[in-house]
Structure 1
Amino acid sequence: MALVAAASVVAVGLMATGLTGCADMSGIAPQSSLRDAPSLGLPADAGLTPAQAPLAADWWREFGDAQLNSLVDQALQTSPSLKLAQARLARALAVTEVADAATLPQVTGQLDLTRQQYTANGAVPAPLAGSIRNSGTAQLAVSWELDFFGKNRAALDAALGTASAAAADAQAARLLLASNVARSYFQLVRLNEQVNVARRTLAQRDETLKLVRDRVDAGLDTRLELRQSEGGLPEARLQLETLQEQMALTRNALDALIGKPNGTAAPTLPAQAAIKNVATATAIPADLLGRRADIAAARWRVEASTKDVVNAKTQFYPNVNLVAFAGFSSIGLGRLLDSGSQQWGVGPALRLPIFDAGRLRANLRGKTADLDAAVESYNAAVIDAVRDVADQVASSQAITRQQTEQHAAQEAAEGAYDIAVQRYKAGLGTYLNVLTAETSVLAQRRLAVDLSARALDTQVALIRALGGGYSAAPAQAKQVQGATKTIAAGAGPDWAAASFDSKNQPATH
């Protein structure tokens, strides 16, 4: 019997192969193609140099600020947005398990117990006709879809791609959260430095007011100078109040990022100069762009869409199933397990689409359009990544040059202010000269703080643009059994080193 079943399956397989001529997929093909490194003006063989080493996953620790480390750690543990991304990953992994199960035999158990009155006027013969009897069936059924044309495998590969994309999205959410915490923290440090500048300004203007009053009392100045000096104090207080409001709003934003709105004490902020600068790339390394989580996710979606197209094509081919069952069935429960109540069956089943009013072609066109959309989304992500890194590199270099010039300008302004005050004390200059010099000094002090803050912010932005230490080997892949080992074995498609076929489409592996 086993030989007969095997021969039947072989015959069905051969017949199915002969019937594939019914499939008509002509005229449906993807139109988009993946952009590679040369098409973006980047070297195809760009390699890592010591200055462009892969970033650490906990890159924020390199700034040397323990308080920043604590804030980022809290955010990564409690953020709802990160937990949402992780939930989506868990959902995608569950889908891979469902797709994996479709490739394996299915076994079901059946137990039916029925008390039934049989019709006396039907086809049921005596003595069952008109009687009330108990009947029962107990059996096991085995079914296995023989995946001759790779439909189930393609569905599994598509689910794997989607799960890998979800894993990359979770890493992208992690990076975005950490970078937003760091940037908000550095913004808080900047505002704190500006508050210190404003307080120094207020104290300086208070001292100047005392000096002007003494000179007015001595008859050396008029009330004009006194009113000018008095007007500087409210202006300084206004600036201080404005900065403190901005600090409160920034602190609220930081509390929301770490998942504790209005629940944290005001942090003791370090001096801006105490925060370490992090060495970052001075050029655009093509292979590091491939380690961006958003690009990896887009590339995985291309892979998943490619497999969806393959799956849509297999719908045109015959569907071959092998079904078997064995068990017991009887009228009267007392004889259910007797040897004479045994029943069994085995045989193949073939389903072939002949006329479906264009449903399969429409489905294939839809999946092909999805692939084109995934490819163009990937291309857009790559182009945006190149622009993002180029912007941050340009800003970083420009800020370094600006800080050099600003430092020289501040030294000159401070010197001019000291001279103006000395001349005013000696009666050789007017108070207007002091005000003019003071205005330049205050502007340079604020600019120095802003440039230092921009330097830190740009470093964070460049780290984020270069992937923030993303590694395409999600630990969650261990949750998926069987064929889903592909996630762990293949570290994820690298856009700068992706494989392409002759039509520049993703090659199937």
Structure 2
Amino acid sequence: MRIRSQNWLAAGLAAMALSACASVPDLGAAPQLRAPESLAADQALAAAPAAFPDDRWWTRWQDPQLDALVAEALAGSPDVALATARLAQAQAMVGQARAAGEPQVDLEASVGGVRPSLNQGFPRGFLPENVRSQGYLGLNFAFDPDLWGRQRAQLAAATSGARAAEVDAAQARLLLASSVVRTYADLMGAFARRDRALETIANAEADLGVARERNARGLDSAMPLRAAEEALDRAEGSLALADEEIALARNMLAALVGQGPDRGLAIARPQMADPFALALPQNLPADLVGRRPDLVAARLRAEAAAARIGVARADFYPSVNLAAVIGLQAVPLDLLFRQSSLTTQFGPALRLPIFEGGAIAARYEGARAQYDEAVAAYDAALLTAVRQVADAAAQKRAIATQLAEATEAYNAARAQLALARQRTDAGLADSRAVLSEQRDVIAAERSVAALVARDRQADVALAVALGGGFDEMTTDEGSQ
């Protein structure tokens, strides 16, 4: 009889499973993550070979103050703290998902008094008419054998989600460090513009002195004098603008390191090294997918979404739970620990969804839609990542050409200035010729400084586009 009952139970489970399988909606083939090799980028990313940035990429500029600011920001940033808190939550969810697949055992105990109602249809005297003590002490066992892989899928989704949160924390650190370096480079550029403004003021003051002298001697009208005064006003305005940029950059740096604006007043003039020549790692964009934290996080979220499809699919199948209870129960309480008070209960519990108004199918379709969305988000992140590397490389190439031309113009302006001084010393020209050539030199120097600042920002953009030292393999090893 027992064998026959077991056969009937197995046959019943198989029949229920088959009937459930037939009701699973056909949503077609699931989309796949786009392969980086499908993006043609050999020509756009052609450059001298180089390694990926290391995890302290900002030290390449050899500025100890910058290194200290980045370290201070990473230690005290609310954004990093927020990402760390989210990681802790995700890891807790992994623990919950893992515990759900383990047998559950709990102890239950109760004591109290009970007086049953005498109006339940029983003869008088059949039920006690006084309050009687009662007690219960038992162990409850429960285990889900996970026949359809629901719990395994939940654990896989939670694990991928936790890894994504871990990578998000790395992305938060990268974005914070890049913001500090970019702002610091802006501060250096503002100081360079201030230098040019001071040189322009000195030139304008000298030119105004000449104009005043010539006007007083009747050699020129008032127009050259007014023009010189206006030039001095513009130069002083440029100085005020540069001072404003310096103050704003210092305030931004203070906020990035998690301090008040007074912290920015202590930041000295940056001393970053010159920009670098264009060089790129080989095998791009294929190797980029493991070096960009945003790409890795997007892929992990797609994996988590794929696992949640398995969770939703398991809802179509019968739920089987094994449960057992063993304990002691007695009325009155003083009989609780006698052998005759032993009580047990065990057996499987089955649940098969038959009609739920389409809720299960809707959850399944929703899980698939979330996966499709995650795949699309990954594909978009991949395209953005490759474009950002290509943009930084193109900017570096263009700036190199412009900088060579600007440097040539600067050297030519200096040669003209030297010639003007020689002519002035020989009495062949007056000081206005020297002042005019000085303005050309200042303008050329300003152009060179602006291009150098842009080139330095392009270096920062390239380091960030290449992942800023993130390495998925190293992170995987560290998380194990």
SS at match of 1:263: helix
Alpha-carbon separation, structure 2, partners of 1:335 and 1:346: 23
Counterparts in 2 of 1:115 and 1:380: CA distance versus 1, 3 Å = same
Q: Paired residue for 2:15?
A: 18
Question: Following superposition of structure 1 onto structure 2, how do residues 257-272 of structure 1 map, counting pairs within 5 Å?
Answer: 257-264=256-263, 265-271=265-271
Question: Following superposition of structure 1 onto structure 2, how do residues 288-437 of structure 1 map, counting pairs within 5 Å?
Answer: 288-290=287-289, 291-420=291-420, 423=423, 428-429=428-429, 437=437
CA contact (8 A) 2:31 2:372 kept: yes
Counterparts in 2 of 1:222 and 1:38: CA distance versus 1, 3 Å = same
Alpha-carbon separation, structure 2, partners of 1:148 and 1:63: 58
Alpha-carbon separation, structure 1, partners of 2:4 and 2:431: 109
Residues 445-470 of structure 1 deviation map (CA, whole Å, 9 limit, x = unaligned): 21111111111111111111111111
SS at match of 1:109: strand
AA at the equivalent of 1:97: G
AA at the equivalent of 2:129: G
Tell me whether 21-30 or 336-345 shows the greater mean CA deviation: 21-30
SS at match of 1:348: strand
Alpha-carbon separation, structure 2, partners of 1:474 and 1:78: 24
SS at match of 2:111: strand
Tell me whether 9-18 or 315-324 shows the greater mean CA deviation: 9-18
How far apart are 1:214 and its partner, in Å? 5.8
Does 2:93 align with 1:95?
yes
SS at match of 2:472: coil
Alpha-carbon separation, structure 2, partners of 1:245 and 1:70: 24
Alpha-carbon separation, structure 2, partners of 1:63 and 1:338: 81
Alpha-carbon separation, structure 2, partners of 1:68 and 1:86: 24
Residues 185-232 of structure 1 deviation map (CA, whole Å, 9 limit, x = unaligned): 000011011111211222233344445556667777666555444443
Tell me whether 382-391 or 125-134 shows the greater mean CA deviation: 125-134
Tell me whether 330-339 or 282-291 shows the greater mean CA deviation: 282-291
Counterparts in 2 of 1:12 and 1:49: CA distance versus 1, 3 Å = farther
How far apart are 1:400 and its partner, in Å? 1.4
CA contact (8 A) 1:119 1:129 kept: no
How far apart are 1:119 and its partner, in Å? 1.1
CA contact (8 A) 1:28 1:364 kept: no
Alpha-carbon separation, structure 2, partners of 1:69 and 1:279: 23
AA at the equivalent of 1:310: G
Q: Paired residue for 1:73?
A: 71
AA at the equivalent of 1:156: L
Alpha-carbon separation, structure 2, partners of 1:222 and 1:364: 86
Counterparts in 2 of 1:418 and 1:236: CA distance versus 1, 3 Å = farther
Counterparts in 2 of 1:423 and 1:231: CA distance versus 1, 3 Å = farther
Residues 113-134 of structure 1 deviation map (CA, whole Å, 9 limit, x = unaligned): 1211111121567453322111
Q: Paired residue for 1:59?
A: 57
Tell me whether 197-206 or 10-19 shows the greater mean CA deviation: 10-19
Residues 328-364 of structure 1 deviation map (CA, whole Å, 9 limit, x = unaligned): 0000111111111111122111111122222111111
Residues 100-157 of structure 1 deviation map (CA, whole Å, 9 limit, x = unaligned): 1111111111111121111112156745332211111110101001111101100110
CA contact (8 A) 1:289 1:466 kept: yes
CA contact (8 A) 2:189 2:453 kept: yes
Counterparts in 2 of 1:50 and 1:439: CA distance versus 1, 3 Å = closer
Alpha-carbon separation, structure 2, partners of 1:144 and 1:403: 71
CA contact (8 A) 1:114 1:134 kept: yes
Q: Paired residue for 1:117?
A: 115
Counterparts in 2 of 1:276 and 1:451: CA distance versus 1, 3 Å = closer
Does 2:170 align with 1:203?
no
Counterparts in 2 of 1:42 and 1:77: CA distance versus 1, 3 Å = same
Counterparts in 2 of 1:49 and 1:454: CA distance versus 1, 3 Å = closer
Q: Paired residue for 1:447?
A: 447
Alpha-carbon separation, structure 1, partners of 2:380 and 2:174: 20
AA at the equivalent of 2:127: L
The alignment yields a C-alpha RMSD, in angstroms, of 3.0
CA contact (8 A) 1:12 1:350 kept: no
AA at the equivalent of 1:263: D
CA contact (8 A) 1:8 1:348 kept: no
AA at the equivalent of 2:452: S
Counterparts in 2 of 1:223 and 1:81: CA distance versus 1, 3 Å = same
Counterparts in 2 of 1:358 and 1:417: CA distance versus 1, 3 Å = same
Question: Following superposition of structure 1 onto structure 2, how do residues 154-233 of structure 1 map, counting pairs within 5 Å?
Answer: 154-210=153-209, 225-233=224-232
Alpha-carbon separation, structure 1, partners of 2:434 and 2:144: 90
Alpha-carbon separation, structure 1, partners of 2:86 and 2:142: 32
Query: Unmatched 5+ residue regions in structure 2?
Result: none
Counterparts in 2 of 1:475 and 1:391: CA distance versus 1, 3 Å = closer
Alpha-carbon separation, structure 1, partners of 2:454 and 2:254: 22
Alpha-carbon separation, structure 2, partners of 1:456 and 1:100: 48
CA contact (8 A) 2:49 2:282 kept: no
TM-score when normalising by structure 2: 0.89
